[in-house]
Structure 1
């Protein structure tokens, strides 16, 4: 019997038992859909993280208080990074094009009967250029505001919209931690960064933040971090080296650093490693359903061999060889697994598209993931189909006919 005849018979047998065939394919459908969806969502998360880091500003480095070992040992980050460090970097690091000092805290913000607990950022004028923010209305923090400890505030787009809607907020006053601040500007929408909404924030002069809301550390006006924009991408390694040496001299460090210097690439690499690991783990968990689907195919094929004993005996009696019977059942197993794989692929791609439609994630369907999932499902069907196929091929025709 040629391959075409075996294929026709296999298709006819499977279509004669539509419900059984559909239920058998269900494991493969779920497995393929899960694997493709998990890989697509993971790659979308990596792409989103990359875009968000690029939105922080071009060629940006971040200096934060506390060395890596100190951060691992305790949650109490030392307050040793101060505004004087930022000034020194601006003056003494030739690779730095701009330096922005920043102190973050979360405080209640009140306007009339409306209130919100939002991020309060003590900033300097350089924040706009270093972090690539733009002003939509009014202005940002100025040098005069810093020198005079002015109680002025520039609102993020979402915070301004929540309090004022379509009304122009310039000149209005809000209360931050029960202290009045005059609104002088509104920033353009920037979007979220790793789950934190950058537009739900209020920006006040760094000096006002320290003197009015948070106080100082024993070392001076302490910072949450310093953002530095390098002159160009090629200058980033030099800037990182120069900043590290400068701060080690200023802090009189002879052992472990009490600060951490990271580039966008460093942080993105860490995030990429985490998301890649999570994607691989989720895909591996989803792939278990492929194994379950393969076991289901084997079980159904074994039942099919038992039910079709008389058919096998009759075909052998009229001249079908063991290889013909083997091919018949192998083709049926492969059709079940391949059909389940194709349907699962369609479902998985549809799932990725739906996730992209309702979340910030981009729809990414990797051809390699589709090929891998369909190939694995076909291989699993072939592998698990061997046992029942060989069992059918080994049946003695006389015994098979007698047992019918």
Structure 2
């Protein structure tokens, strides 16, 4: 025998089980199709769920970015007051607090006090209820608002509590349609307000329409609509100098307000802070948990598909017992029989994985278009799906393959 023949002989011997496995699959196309269905559904579910989780996380991040960057929110909080009778006291946040924070904190870039309430706005026959925000001019830069028409009010307007306002795109559409509203007068509650600017659209945030808003000088809202004590506000929104200084800014703000509000060490503060990063982390945790739960459900489908492959392969071994006996009689070894049936299981499982990845990719594209999200199937998820399919084929195909390899040749030849 030549050297080339000696080299190619093991290769040819290894190819034989592959050919036999593929031939067996082609002889039973319907059975093979039903066998891979469970794997197909499981892999498609994993691909879809993974892409949905990534798409949802990115969509929420984009929505949070519309709020602004490096944001810190500060709210008054009810605390238990000491004394003979237990009672709760709601803390107060003031404009002086905002000025003190801006003056004393080196990690805070801007501060915007805010008072919000619901009011009825109308123009002619058009009228509906919307949110009015009493703010200072820096509110627009803190929240990354830009103007599609007009601009903010002047400092003198703020000092005089002038009846001027800036409206969002939803308010403009509801009250004016396509007409330019800048310079026109609308009724806000029982007061006439002149429109000086229109905000550029931002879209929804967690289901709430950010463009359904009227912004006006802080003092006017406090005296006319909210009826709050002079100088008090409902919330402070701050921006840190950078993303890296957000935690340091929270520490500085907390220390400044504890001193201003005369809160003793160890006592509960009458205010609470939340950062944009904390909100993003909470959202990320929620999406991670949901993704894990959904992938676990999809993994059950993969397990069912693997059991289906094992059952079908056991039936195939029973049906082909005589064929196995003939192969053994003409020289096939246990390893050859084992390899043949193991290859059948792996091929079926991998085919199901490929089909599932394709179906998942098509579904992801359709869901992305329907939801308006930027969704795509990552190469990592496809690789993991295919590797998982191969592992399932090996794991669930080994027992039937070993059973076939351990058949007694004489008993197998006698099988009818």
Q: TM-score, normalised by structure 1?
A: 0.88
Structure 2 residue aligned with 1:72: none
Within 5 Å, give how 1:2-401 maps onto structure 2: 2-66=13-77, 78=90, 80-177=92-189, 179-216=191-228, 221-223=232-234, 225-254=235-264, 255-401=267-413
Moved more, 366-375 or 59-68: 59-68
Q: CA deviation at 1:179?
A: 5.0
Distance verdict in 2 for CA 1:143–1:273, change over 3 Å:
same
Q: 2: CA distance between counterparts of 1:64 and 1:42?
A: 31
Moved more, 100-109 or 2-11: 100-109
Q: 2: CA distance between counterparts of 1:30 and 1:108?
A: 52
Q: Residues 215-271 of structure 1: CA distance to partner in whole angstroms, max 9, x if unpaired? A: 226x95231x31212334454344222211111112222312232233333332222
Q: 1: CA distance between counterparts of 2:186 and 2:29?
A: 68
Distance verdict in 2 for CA 1:309–1:67, change over 3 Å:
farther
Q: Secondary structure at the match of 2:232?
A: coil
Distance verdict in 2 for CA 1:305–1:156, change over 3 Å:
same
Q: 1: CA distance between counterparts of 2:374 and 2:16?
A: 46
Q: Residues 160-192 of structure 1: CA distance to partner in whole angstroms, max 9, x if unpaired? A: 123322211123344445654332220011233
Corresponding pairs, count: 396
Distance verdict in 2 for CA 1:398–1:106, change over 3 Å:
farther
Distance verdict in 2 for CA 1:99–1:2, change over 3 Å:
same
Q: 1: CA distance between counterparts of 2:79 and 2:274?
A: 11
Q: Secondary structure at the match of 1:62?
A: strand
Whether the aligned pair in 1 keeps the contact of 2:78 and 2:90 (CA below 8 Å) is: no
Q: CA deviation at 1:77?
A: 11
Whether the aligned pair in 1 keeps the contact of 2:258 and 2:269 (CA below 8 Å) is: yes
Whether the aligned pair in 1 keeps the contact of 2:91 and 2:270 (CA below 8 Å) is: no
Q: Secondary structure at the match of 2:201?
A: coil
Q: 1: CA distance between counterparts of 2:89 and 2:169?
A: 30
Whether the aligned pair in 2 keeps the contact of 1:65 and 1:77 (CA below 8 Å) is: no
Q: Secondary structure at the match of 2:134?
A: strand
Q: 2: CA distance between counterparts of 1:253 and 1:365?
A: 53
Whether the aligned pair in 1 keeps the contact of 2:76 and 2:93 (CA below 8 Å) is: yes
Structure 2 residue aligned with 1:73: none
Distance verdict in 2 for CA 1:135–1:327, change over 3 Å:
same
Structure 1 residues not aligned, in runs of 5+ = 70-75
Structure 1 segments, 4+ long, off by >6 Å, are none
Q: 1: CA distance between counterparts of 2:29 and 2:127?
A: 61
Q: 1: CA distance between counterparts of 2:78 and 2:320?
A: 71
Structure 2 residues not aligned, in runs of 5+ = 1-11, 81-87
Q: 2: CA distance between counterparts of 1:106 and 1:300?
A: 65
Whether the aligned pair in 1 keeps the contact of 2:78 and 2:91 (CA below 8 Å) is: no
Q: 2: CA distance between counterparts of 1:188 and 1:320?
A: 76
Q: Secondary structure at the match of 1:55?
A: helix
Whether the aligned pair in 2 keeps the contact of 1:40 and 1:365 (CA below 8 Å) is: yes
Q: Secondary structure at the match of 1:362?
A: coil
Q: CA deviation at 1:293?
A: 0.9
Q: CA deviation at 1:20?
A: 1.6
